[in-house]
Structure 1
Amino acid sequence: MNVTFLNEYINLVVLGICLCLGYVIKNSLDFISNKYIPLIMLVIGTLINILVNISNFSATVVLGGMISGLASTGMYEALRSFIKGKEKEE
């Protein structure tokens, strides 16, 4: 299954904001379970993308926010795995 067409919907600003917020939630807010972080990032990503694109609101804007928010959780896991791999080599 090829999902590369979803790349055109990713907003890098939203992705970066969600990545930072997700990091803070995961490492600082112990009362929030890890299983809820993707849902929180989906909602935050959607809201930020709607606010950024308020003048031309459409379903594409909503989809872009959702994908960017969820992509931030995947990017966090990829970066975490990369950093842990580098630590083991040293």
Structure 2
Amino acid sequence: MDFTILTEHFELVVVVGCLVSGYILKHWIKDVDNKYIPTSLAVLGAILNAVVSGLTVETIIYGALMGLASTGMHQAFTRFIENTQE
């Protein structure tokens, strides 16, 4: 599978917006369980990308992928900073 197609639909604004929203959900809103954060960010990424790039099925799917990617980026950064391994 060729992953270069993902770079054509990458929107930095959406990823950064999801990163910031995920941080706020995790650290400031204590009622949200951690297992719901990736789903919330996928939905938020889909909505943000639809607003930025236009409302199509393709932009919604890529937005959800960017929301999930922001979750993975946060986890990788946290593990790098804390120097922990599972």
TM-score, normalised to structure 1's length? 0.81
Structure 1 stretches (4+) deviating beyond 3 angstroms?
Answer: 2-7
SS of residue paired to 2:63: helix
Task: Give 1:73 shift.
Answer: 0.4
Identical amino acids, percent of aligned pairs? 34
Distance 1:3 1:70 in 2: 19
Q: Which runs of 5+ in 2 are unaligned?
A: none
Structure-2-length-normalised TM-score: 0.84
Q: Deviations over 1:2-39 (max 9, x none)?
A: 67356324322101110011011101111000000001
After superposition, the Cα gap between the structure-2 partners of 1:3 and 1:66, relative to the gap in structure 1 and judged at 3 Å, is farther
Quick one: higher RCO (CA 8 Å, sep 6+), 1 or 2? Answer: 1
Q: Determine the structure 2 residue equivalent to 1:38.
A: 38
- Larger radius of gyration, structure 1 or 2? 1
Judged with a 3 Å threshold, the aligned counterparts in structure 2 of structure 1 residues 66 and 30 are, in CA distance, closer, same or farther, namely: same
Q: In the alignment, what sits opposite 1:83? A: 81
One-letter amino acid of the counterpart of residue 66, structure 2: S
Corresponding pairs, count:
83
